[in-house]
Structure 1
Amino acid sequence: MTKRQNRMVLVALLVAGAILAITLLLQALGSNTNYFYSPTEVAQGKAPVGKSFRLGGLVANGSVVREDMVVNFDVTDNKETFKIKYTGILPDLFREGQGIITTGSLVDGTFIATEVLAKHDENYMPPEVADALEKAKK
């Protein structure tokens, strides 16, 4: 083989390797994505069955039932309501009427959550930012 042919083979191998690496990366990222669904979308069957996804909405008033470390509650988007079961410690901001996002999967019509995230209100400001703004005023 000539030098030119060796270079062409090397370039072809590099391009093929890059394509393979990008393909594997996209497959890995695609299988780890958690899409967000509202209770209405879940009730309409748009959520994946047997796969992890995010379900969010407001915690329905009067729906929180605690039994040791197991918490059952309903999440609503004011159109549909969905039952959630979570085992673990809930975030401090969790309360009825509060917006939350849960990660988990559907099992027999109940959403089994592995993670619960409570949203703060729009007036919240991290203490570090508040201190920096206060110092800037002086």
Structure 2
Amino acid sequence: MTEQHAFSSKVLQEDCLDYTPFLSSVTLARRRAARLVSEWGHPDIAGDVALVVSELAGNALLHGRVLGQLFRVQLILTAAAVRIEVGDACGERRPEVRNPAQDEKFGRGMVIVDALATRWGVVPRTVGKTVWAEIDLR
């Protein structure tokens, strides 16, 4: 799924943080997401949110990295869903769900996102892109 989803629900909680383009930042973003979603009252989906953040942040690091530019992770809680947004400075490389060979070490991130998220997409920016995913609250 790559079309923009209209996101117009009332925001209940929000968090936004820029990260340096290092592997350790993916771990920090994942842990922060799990903690925040649990604190916001949804520990049942904290693991799924953390995994989606990890995959999208990893993609930003591997495929969206531009020298000297940070990547941004934003979490938004509404009454209906948690929205994860990861922005990077490289708009040319858009994520897609692939079917990697069994011996390939990479290429499964968006398969995981597609399986966990209710919907996801990409929003182009003047510089770069934002990849978003939403997980409906159960």
TM-score, normalised with respect to structure 1: 0.28
Point out which structure has higher relative CO (alpha carbons under 8 A, 6+ apart): 2
Larger relative strand fraction:
1
